[in-house]
Amino acid sequence: MFHKEGYKIILIATFIVGIGIILVENFVAVEWLNKLLAILLLGFFIFIIQFFRNPKRNTFLNDHSIIAPVDGKVVVIEEVFEKEYFNDKRLQISIFMSPLNVHVTRYPVGGTVNYSKYHPGKYLVAWHPKASEDNERTTVVVENSVIGKVLYRQIAGALAKRIVNYAKPNMQVVQGSDCGFIKFGSRVDILLPLNAKINVNLNDKVKGGEQIIATL
């Protein structure tokens, strides 16, 4: 199953690979080079389709829990001062996605979208300390009746050139449902109340839409 954001790119990649293989078969006479180019084209196509995969996830809805919004590796767990929306201290969990991870973004909690804003910016590597403030990004705040307000931020990386965000102010959203997509390498920050109990450690691999990363 593929994400809808990938349909156009997969179609273009199919066309390019098809034309490429036809050209290789007709104009490359050296057998070993012919095979090598065909393998590279197929490898490129496999990379594209696996990047846009959208596996089904079974979310156990729980208003006391915050689930991982994406697949990836936990690269930051720290107390920070959040100055865009809260203007106070929050616990930040950052999850880095390599190009091989599933890049669907899912709501970490259910509730009402209070805030949703896109920020143009740079394309520093996603683990750069200034990526949260300087890179292209979107900031979304969802208010949950039990936990309160949870902020998540989609951040473009060095390869990511487009962030897709479906969250709109006043929307009622369901925990674990699709809230966006980041194309080709990126990171997501989750900003939580200071009394949240963190359930993950640095360098843990997490599964978006299912794994509980914090509770209140």
Check whether 160 has a pLDDT greater than 60.
Answer: no
Per-residue burial over 185-200, b = 16 or more CB atoms within 10 Å of its CB, e = otherwise? bbbbbbbbbeebeebb
94 catalytic residue (yes or no): no
> Across residues 93-99, what is the average pLDDT?
90
Q: What is the pLDDT of residue 211?
A: 95
The dihedral through the CA atoms of 53, 57, 63, 68 has a sign that is negative
DSSP, residue by residue, 97-132:
E-TTS--EEE-SS-EEEEEEEEE--B---TTSTTHH
Residue 182's alpha-carbon distances to 88, 161, 195, in angstroms, are: 27, 8, 29
**Are 75 and 187 contacting, i.e. CB atoms less than 8 angstroms apart?**
yes
Helix 31-51 / helix 7-27 crossing angle, nearest 10 deg: 180
Instruction: Read off the pLDDT of residues 6-22 as tens digits, 9 standing for 90 and up.
Output: 788 889 989 999 999 88
- Mean pLDDT (the chain) is 88
> Across residues 44-66, what is the average pLDDT?
87
Q: What is the pLDDT of residue 56?
A: 87
Q: What is the pLDDT of residue 7?
A: 84
Q: What is the pLDDT of residue 131?
A: 59
Question: How many residues are present in the chain?
Answer: 216
Q: What is the pLDDT of residue 28?
A: 82
- Spot the catalytic one: 65, 94, 116, 186: 186
d(CA 6, CA 2): 7
Angle, alpha carbons 155-158-163 (nearest 5°): 40
Check whether 215 has a pLDDT greater than 90.
Answer: yes
Q: Higher model confidence: residue 111 or residue 132?
A: 111
Q: Is the pTM of this model over 0.75?
A: yes
- Among all chains, which residue has been given the structure tokens 């709501």? 107
Q: What is the pLDDT of residue 34?
A: 86
d(CA 136, CA 120): 5
Side chain identity at residue 118, one-letter code: Y
